[in-house]
A and B are shown apart, each in its own frame.
Chain A
Amino acid sequence: MSEKSSSGRDISRRKVLQSAVSATSVSLIPLTSCTTPVSAPQKLLSREAWLILEAFTDRIIPADANGPGAVAAGVPYYIENSLASWNAEELEVLTTGLFALTSAARNRYDLDFQLLSDNNKDALLRDMEDGKIDAFENSAVIFSRLHRLTLEGMFSDPYYGGNQGYIGWDLIGYPGAVMSSTAQMQQMGGRLPPLHTSAYGSDYDGE
């Protein structure tokens, strides 16, 4: 679209910040360059938060008959990298949200979120998305942001830590980043063969 709406990601990001229960000082967060790729966890999130996040992304894009899901693609790494850099201002509110999710799991099932059955996780996530969890008032906003970050991690260039092995791009049939395309690469009649190429060269082949 040539027209660019003034709505979009930043609006929802603002909502998420407005919904923060406690004020947070972003200066405490280690800021890395937003274009620095990080392929290993930075230990920004606690182990507890990491496990909840991993379980969350696993239910958004599960491994199933249609192929591997968000965890195999490294989506939690993408999210952690983002919260350590470009989206640092969301770190506090989103981790608070993850703990609120696991509190709801304990209230309802007496288990941490990541330990629930898939069916129970999904039931809780539906209520989270619909804003129907007691004492978790901003659950819909938190869900929306984590959902969005999960999609970003699954389908972004592997440079940023997600989409490892081009799992995300293979799922939807995006062949890969190229500097030039031919008419053949725009022909209809079936899926294009995967190229498995990153905008940042062969160092980011996702392996």
Chain B
Amino acid sequence: MATNLAEIDVVVVGLGAAGGVAVLPLTRAGLNVVGLEAGTWMNPGRDYKADEIHNNVRSLVTTGNKVAGEIPTVRNSPTATAVQQTRHPMMNAVGGTSIHYHAQSWRLNPWDFKVRSATLERYGADYIPQDTTLEDWPVSYADMEPFYDNVEYEVGVSGKAGNIQGQINPEGNIFEGPRQRDYPMPPLRSCDFLDHMYEAGQSVGYHPYHGPAAINSRPYDGRPGCQYHGYCDRGGCHVRAKNSTDVSTIPKAQATGNLEIRDNANVRRINVDNAGKITGVTYSRDREEFFQTARAVLLGCYTYENIRTLLLSTSAYYPNGLGNNRGQVGKHYFGHWDIQGGTLVTALFPFDLNIWYGAIAQGVMVDDWADDNFDHSGLGFIGGASLHVYTEKHPIGAAAMGTFGKVNRRWGSQWKEFIKKNAGRTQTAYIQTNTFPYHHTWADLDPNVKDPYGVPVLRVTNGRKQNEPMAAAHAANKMEAWFRAAGASAIVNSGGGRGPALSTHAHGGTRMGTNPDTSVCDPWGFSFEAKNLGILGGSVMCTAGARNPTQTIQALAWRTAHHLVEEWDEITA
């Protein structure tokens, strides 16, 4: 039997990028909050290393003990048997994936929130991708702006504004939506290679800029600036300059005295009463089961676990899963990796780049071929992709480089001579494609594969997309032109991608909307069916921008928590 714990105001399930932000507005408003986190605190001095084997080969930062047993299965047709994957993007820890992510921290652009209506208006119905379930978001960029601003200042984001209240500054992204003020910190340091790419981008008529990052470019909030040591990827920051929530918003929430963190807590289900209202959360810790009563619950796990937790929380009122009486939980799922898996453009230069150090977020970005920033008439697709060149190169990965057809085998003296000369002379661009939901792509519980507790894992079913590979291939060609302008001597352009696979940028599955028949959450991120359940994370997003989703996830989490505070009496009635 579960031990019943005294009622508190709010349980936040998962203290990662989303839940770790939501606790701040809640606790500042005076609500008593319990944060349940499946992992525990990381210790930068002990856990983070400038070591490719530790971070990248053995994944010793990113591999949590719980997530390793609950990796989703994947299949590429509804009739195939899904196969459990061996790597996954989730992490159990206070701070979650915000610990090891690259911390590129973007706002989505105004177009992202209204892709459907903007496409109909500019290009007509023929340009809406076939089989898509695309809807406009129930919020606009203007609705989101104050919450983006909160995140940029409270989490800490460095960058250069391209549009302050309509004033365009070409040092920033000229395509971004208007913001009320500049970032709290200037962009991360540039370097020779990035300056070189910047000039090359301008020479072909692009509008390059230094991308924003949730990394301190100078001391901020009592923590130091980035040291550019080159082990940001899959690693935590040894000096706490990366603004993961365990060093930024969570300590601020703790300082209010209103946040209690229970680590190593495995949430089993969200409980409801006979009328479908949330009563609390059942979790296990140290082999004991507890029931935490709460007036409201915010579910803030990774996209896959948000969907799974809802589907597993069945009851008389919700026989098919919590908030799923209309069958929408798990629908409208999509990930950047659906397309991005093969959209790689790699260049070889006839000179040493010296990008061993730095950080992946130390980069130059081009948005000219993303979103609706160019005329798509006659192209046959909508959206596009951002182009990003960056630093941080690890020696094993560098030596394992492709050989551009210049040597036959990746071993022996010929190959050794090749890598001796070229391992420091190559870089792969990062191309992120606008991605949309489709009828043929969804997530549900796997009928066969179970986690170590005997509970089904999530199953992802992917369909073949037509629009996104075309958009990606178009952008990849623009990337190739950029690399050539920078003096690349050889380029491998893999084209429009091969995907799909599990994604670190998993979106949808509990999307927001105005129509409860086609979405799970209302425009504030609360379940249409269980009104005192809010959902935080990429799972509520309606489209994927041509950029990393985390800042939008965090701004949405802030907004949902803010709404809970504002409408407390009505939501918890």
Chain A residues packing against B (C-beta within 8 Å):
1-11, 13-14, 34-35, 59-62, 64-67, 69, 86, 122, 125-126, 129, 147-148, 150-152, 154-157, 159-160, 168-169, 171-175, 177-181, 183, 185-192, 199-200
A188 touches B354 (CB 8 A): yes
Assuming the A-B contacts A174-B356, A178-B357, are A2 and B399 also in contact, with contact meaning beta carbons closer than 8 angstroms in the complex? no
Report the separation of the CA atoms of residues A10 and B86 in the bound assembly, to the nearest whole angstrom.
6
Min distance, Cβ A16 to any Cβ of chain B, angstroms = 12
Residue of A nearest to B401 (CB): A172
Residue of A nearest to B74 (CB): A6
Assuming the A-B contacts A173-B424, A188-B352, are A2 and B86 also in contact, with contact meaning beta carbons closer than 8 angstroms in the complex? no
B411 touches A60 (CB 8 A): yes
A174 touches B411 (CB 8 A): no
Min distance, Cβ A180 to any Cβ of chain B, angstroms = 4
Residue of B nearest to A85 (CB): B58
Residue of A nearest to B411 (CB): A60
Min distance, Cβ A194 to any Cβ of chain B, angstroms = 12
Min distance, Cβ A126 to any Cβ of chain B, angstroms = 7
A-B CB proximity, top 9 nearest: A181-B357, A186-B191, A10-B86, A172-B423, A180-B227, A199-B50, A155-B395, A174-B395, A60-B411
Assuming the A-B contacts A2-B101, A11-B86, are A62 and B356 also in contact, with contact meaning beta carbons closer than 8 angstroms in the complex? no
Report the separation of the CA atoms of residues A188 and B438 in the bound assembly, to the nearest whole angstrom.
45
> B51 touches which one: A9, A69, A159, A183 (CB < 8 A)?
A159
11 extra A-B contacts, CB within 8 A, seeds A152-B396, A173-B423: A4-B234, A7-B87, A9-B57, A86-B58, A168-B399, A178-B230, A178-B357, A180-B229, A181-B358, A186-B357, A188-B192
A151 touches B391 (CB 8 A): no
Min distance, Cβ B418 to any Cβ of chain A, angstroms = 10
> B399 touches which one: A62, A67, A154, A185 (CB < 8 A)?
A154
B413 touches A62 (CB 8 A): yes
A59 touches B412 (CB 8 A): yes
A188 touches B196 (CB 8 A): yes
Chain B residues packing against A (C-beta within 8 Å):
49-54, 57-58, 60, 74, 85-89, 101-102, 104, 189, 191-193, 196, 227-231, 233-234, 238, 336-337, 340-341, 351-358, 360, 391, 395-396, 398-400, 409-413, 416-417, 419-420, 423-424, 428, 430, 432, 501-505, 548
Chain B residues whose CB sits within 8 angstroms of the CB of A4 once the complex forms: 87, 89, 234, 504
A2 touches B413 (CB 8 A): no
From A9, A150, A186, name the one whose CB has the most chain B CB atoms within 10 angstroms: A186
A66 touches B354 (CB 8 A): no
Residue of A nearest to B397 (CB): A155
Min distance, Cβ A30 to any Cβ of chain B, angstroms = 18
> A151 touches which one: B227, B233, B396 (CB < 8 A)?
B396
Residue of B nearest to A69 (CB): B416
A2 touches B360 (CB 8 A): yes
Majority DSSP secondary structure for residues of B touching A: loop
A178 touches B229 (CB 8 A): yes
Chain A residues whose CB sits within 8 angstroms of the CB of B355 once the complex forms: 186
Assuming the A-B contacts A86-B58, A174-B395, A179-B229, are A187 and B354 also in contact, with contact meaning beta carbons closer than 8 angstroms in the complex? yes
Report the separation of the CA atoms of residues A1 and B548 in the bound assembly, to the nearest whole angstrom.
11
A34 touches B58 (CB 8 A): yes
B391 touches A199 (CB 8 A): no
Chain A residues whose CB sits within 8 angstroms of the CB of B419 once the complex forms: 171-172
Chain B residues whose CB sits within 8 angstroms of the CB of A192 once the complex forms: 354, 356
Min distance, Cβ B243 to any Cβ of chain A, angstroms = 16
Report the separation of the CA atoms of residues A9 and B55 in the bound assembly, to the nearest whole angstrom.
13
Chain A residues whose CB sits within 8 angstroms of the CB of B396 once the complex forms: 151-152, 155-156
Report the separation of the CA atoms of residues A156 and B399 in the bound assembly, to the nearest whole angstrom.
11
Assuming the A-B contacts A6-B74, A152-B53, are A66 and B398 also in contact, with contact meaning beta carbons closer than 8 angstroms in the complex? no
B357 touches A10 (CB 8 A): no
A6 touches B411 (CB 8 A): no
B412 touches A172 (CB 8 A): no
B337 touches A5 (CB 8 A): yes
A181 touches B229 (CB 8 A): yes
> A6 touches which one: B88, B228, B399 (CB < 8 A)?
B88
Report the separation of the CA atoms of residues A185 and B424 in the bound assembly, to the nearest whole angstrom.
13
Min distance, Cβ A174 to any Cβ of chain B, angstroms = 4
A156 touches B53 (CB 8 A): yes
Chain A residues whose CB sits within 8 angstroms of the CB of B412 once the complex forms: 59-60, 62, 122
A3 touches B193 (CB 8 A): no
B193 touches A188 (CB 8 A): yes
Report the separation of the CA atoms of residues A129 and B408 in the bound assembly, to the nearest whole angstrom.
12
Chain A residues whose CB sits within 8 angstroms of the CB of B49 once the complex forms: 199
CB-defined A-B contacts under 8 Å, sample of 20: A2-B101, A2-B548, A3-B430, A7-B87, A8-B87, A10-B87, A59-B411, A86-B58, A122-B412, A129-B409, A151-B400, A168-B399, A171-B416, A172-B399, A173-B423, A179-B238, A183-B189, A188-B353, A199-B51, A199-B54
Residue of B nearest to A129 (CB): B409
Residue of B nearest to A175 (CB): B356
Min distance, Cβ B400 to any Cβ of chain A, angstroms = 6
Chain A residues whose CB sits within 8 angstroms of the CB of B60 once the complex forms: 34-35
Residue of A nearest to B424 (CB): A173
Chain B residues whose CB sits within 8 angstroms of the CB of A11 once the complex forms: 86
Chain B residues whose CB sits within 8 angstroms of the CB of A59 once the complex forms: 411-412
Assuming the A-B contacts A2-B360, A155-B399, are A64 and B53 also in contact, with contact meaning beta carbons closer than 8 angstroms in the complex? no
B229 touches A2 (CB 8 A): no
Min distance, Cβ B10 to any Cβ of chain A, angstroms = 31
Assuming the A-B contacts A5-B337, A156-B52, A188-B352, are A147 and B358 also in contact, with contact meaning beta carbons closer than 8 angstroms in the complex? no
A172 touches B424 (CB 8 A): yes
Residue of A nearest to B410 (CB): A147
B341 touches A5 (CB 8 A): yes
Chain A residues whose CB sits within 8 angstroms of the CB of B353 once the complex forms: 188
Residue of B nearest to A191 (CB): B352
From B74, B409, B411, B420, name the one whose CB has the most chain A CB atoms within 10 angstroms: B411
Chain B residues whose CB sits within 8 angstroms of the CB of A129 once the complex forms: 409
Chain B residues whose CB sits within 8 angstroms of the CB of A180 once the complex forms: 227-229
B423 touches A181 (CB 8 A): no
Chain B residues whose CB sits within 8 angstroms of the CB of A175 once the complex forms: 356
Report the separation of the CA atoms of residues A92 and B358 in the bound assembly, to the nearest whole angstrom.
40
Min distance, Cβ B70 to any Cβ of chain A, angstroms = 14
Report the separation of the CA atoms of residues A78 and B505 in the bound assembly, to the nearest whole angstrom.
34
Residue of B nearest to A169 (CB): B395
A178 touches B57 (CB 8 A): no
B50 touches A178 (CB 8 A): yes
Report the separation of the CA atoms of residues A79 and B469 in the bound assembly, to the nearest whole angstrom.
40
Min distance, Cβ B451 to any Cβ of chain A, angstroms = 17
Assuming the A-B contacts A59-B412, A179-B50, A186-B192, are A5 and B424 also in contact, with contact meaning beta carbons closer than 8 angstroms in the complex? no
Chain B residues whose CB sits within 8 angstroms of the CB of A62 once the complex forms: 412-413, 416
> A3 touches which one: B337, B357, B410 (CB < 8 A)?
B337
Report the separation of the CA atoms of residues A2 and B505 in the bound assembly, to the nearest whole angstrom.
9
